[in-house]
């Protein structure tokens, strides 16, 4: 197995001991970024404009009125994607755009399946057609009627994220009518997740969280950390004290199992899954953000991120590579095998900033925000994915990084608000 990026960073630190040389390594990887020269305020303005541009009045599945919902992007992701929409809504909440959050949430909750599963996507036509149109230079399919409600792929993290965002929205907007109307749907969303518990942990099929272009499955830290946050959020929103106590009990039991199953004291980070011990920033940083770590664990996770960021300006989806057998053939043929491991996702560096801000690590948070903001301002947009030592948006013959990516913009705004 090739040496991981983290091991490379450790080797570099040992070979080039001394503060001056260490600073040279960081500067070589990201000129000027560690000096925090990016205009974070300007990047936040760009993020707000991105989310407003991606907010569209649409008629969702023959609903009686148009709703202003946030689309996932400005190109081939021109639809309401539950996961992307919720990450965007975390930024919209920070920006005070409460009506858009309300409409995005209710569009999803009103189309919930009877068993509690929420749609993965609500759109106009198929996403595959949208990607093909984008690849050959055609505009997205026109029309404001969104009749395609997609449950084709289960999305365990979307259920958890909707609960989290709904509770935050209800608290910030003091929208008692929303709580009264939609609390039963949120309870069903949690019940769908709880039915997938096995041995004290949430278990999922492959391709069922945000890394849905590889076969990550089983018991995944990222999904379990989000489920923990959903339980805490639902307990705070719940009107029935007995139900609230039930969700709190479930949350604390889940936290105990997460610690026992995922923390690897030898590696100094949480496992990605029970089968994979690589460092995946998504799960570790959410574990920090939602309060699942000890102070020592939190510092170990931050140090791991710092080591990765001496080698590249933005965090990758994984420190290393997923096994080739986990990558679908179509991703290999499209030149996108690294989509969910080596490619750099700006939202993950924003997540680091948010977790650092929550821990009182304001300097770390400012530096991480500056990194993301630098590239957003350079490119004039919040991109989906980057690659390279001096990151460039990913571009292949059949796929290019989504521009005006709401997920990236939303997480940047949420992190920036947390660090104020």
- Say what the pLDDT of residue 317 is: 98
Please provide the average confidence, as pLDDT, over all residues in the chain: 89
Q: Which H or E run contains 106?
A: helix 98-109
Pair 91, 346: CB distance under 8 Å: no
Lowest-confidence range among 14-23, 154-163, 364-373?
14-23
Measure the CA–CA gap between 309 and 74, rounded to whole angstroms: 29
pLDDT tens by residue, 186-208: 999 999 999 999 999 999 999 99
Please give the Cα distance from 235 to 89 (Å, whole number). Answer: 20
Rounded Cα distance between 51 and 85, Å, is: 10
Report the distance separating Cα 55 and Cα 35, nearest Å.
Answer: 34
For the segment 332-353, what is each residue's pLDDT rounded down to a tens digit?
999 999 999 999 999 999 999 9
User: Which CATH number, 1.10.40.50, 3.40.50.720, 1.50.10.10, 2.60.120.20, labels domain 5-418?
Assistant: 1.50.10.10
Predicted pLDDT of residue 4: 38
Whether the Cβ atoms of residue 358 and residue 298 lie closer than 8 Å to each other: no
Q: Which of 111, 101, 31 is nearest to 63 (CA)?
A: 111
Whether the per-residue pLDDT at 282 is higher than 50: the answer is: yes
Which of 16-25, 29-38, 92-101 has the lowest average pLDDT? 16-25
Q: What is the pTM of this model?
A: 0.89
Q: What is the pLDDT of residues 240-264, one digit of tens each?
A: 999 999 999 999 999 999 999 999 9
Average pLDDT over residues 133-141: 52
Res. 126 pLDDT band, cuts 50 70 90:
low
The confidence band for 131, taking pLDDT boundaries of 50, 70 and 90, is: low
Dist. CA 245–CA 218, nearest whole Å = 28
Strands 145-146, 55-60: parallel, antiparallel or unpaired by DSSP? parallel
What mean pLDDT comes out for the span 401-418? 98
Q: Residues of the chain with pLDDT > 70: what percent? A: 86
Q: How many residues are there in the chain? A: 420
Give the tens place of pLDDT for each residue, 364-394.
999 999 999 999 999 999 999 999 989 999 9
């Amino acid at each position: 197995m090739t040496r991981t990026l983290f091991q490379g960073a450790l080797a570099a630190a040992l070979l080039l001991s001394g503060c001056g040389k260490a600073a040279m390594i960081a500067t070589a990887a990201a000129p000027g970024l560690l000096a925090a020269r990016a205009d974070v305020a300007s990047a936040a303005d760009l993020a707000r404009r991105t989310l407003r541009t991606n907010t569209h009045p649409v008629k969702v599945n023959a609903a009686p009125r148009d709703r202003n919902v946030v689309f996932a992007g400005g190109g081939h992701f021109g639809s309401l994607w539950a996961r992307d929409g919720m990450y965007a809504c975390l930024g919209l909440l920070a920006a005070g755009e409460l009506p858009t959050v309300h409409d995005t949430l209710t569009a999803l909750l009103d189309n919930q399946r009877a068993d509690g599963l929420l749609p993965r996507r609500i759109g106009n036509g198929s996403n595959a057609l949208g990607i093909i149109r984008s690849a050959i230079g055609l505009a997205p399919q026109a029309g404001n009627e969104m009749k395609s409600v997609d449950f084709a792929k289960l999305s365990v993290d979307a259920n958890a994220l909707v609960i989290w965002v709904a509770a935050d929205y209800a608290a910030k907007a003091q929208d008692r009518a929303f709580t009264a109307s939609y609390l039963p749907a949120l309870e069903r969303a949690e019940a769908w997740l709880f039915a997938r518990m096995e041995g004290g942990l949430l278990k999922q099929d492959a391709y069922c969280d945000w890394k849905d272009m590889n076969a990550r499955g089983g018991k995944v830290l990222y999904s379990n950390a989000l489920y923990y946050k959903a339980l805490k959020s639902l307990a705070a929103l719940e009107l029935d004290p007995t139900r609230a106590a039930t969700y709190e009990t479930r949350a604390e039991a889940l936290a105990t199992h997460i610690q026992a199953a995922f923390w690897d004291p030898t590696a100094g980070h949480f496992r990605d899954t029970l089968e994979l011990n690589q460092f995946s920033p998504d799960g570790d940083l959410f574990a920090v953000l939602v309060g699942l770590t000890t102070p020592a664990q939190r510092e170990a996770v931050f140090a791991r991120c710092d080591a990765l960021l001496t080698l590249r300006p933005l965090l990758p989806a994984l420190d290393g590579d997923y096994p080739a057998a986990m990558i679908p053939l179509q991703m290999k043929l499209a030149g996108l095998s690294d989509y969910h491991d080596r490619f750099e996702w700006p939202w993950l560096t924003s997540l680091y900033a948010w977790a650092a801000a929550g821990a009182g690590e304001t300097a770390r948070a400012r530096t991480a925000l500056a990194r993301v903001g630098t590239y957003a301002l350079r490119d004039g947009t919040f991109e989906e994915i980057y690659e390279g030592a001096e990151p460039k948006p990913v571009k292949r013959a059949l796929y290019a990084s989504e521009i005006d990516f709401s997920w990236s913009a939303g997480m940047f705004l949420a992190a920036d608000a947390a660090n104020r």
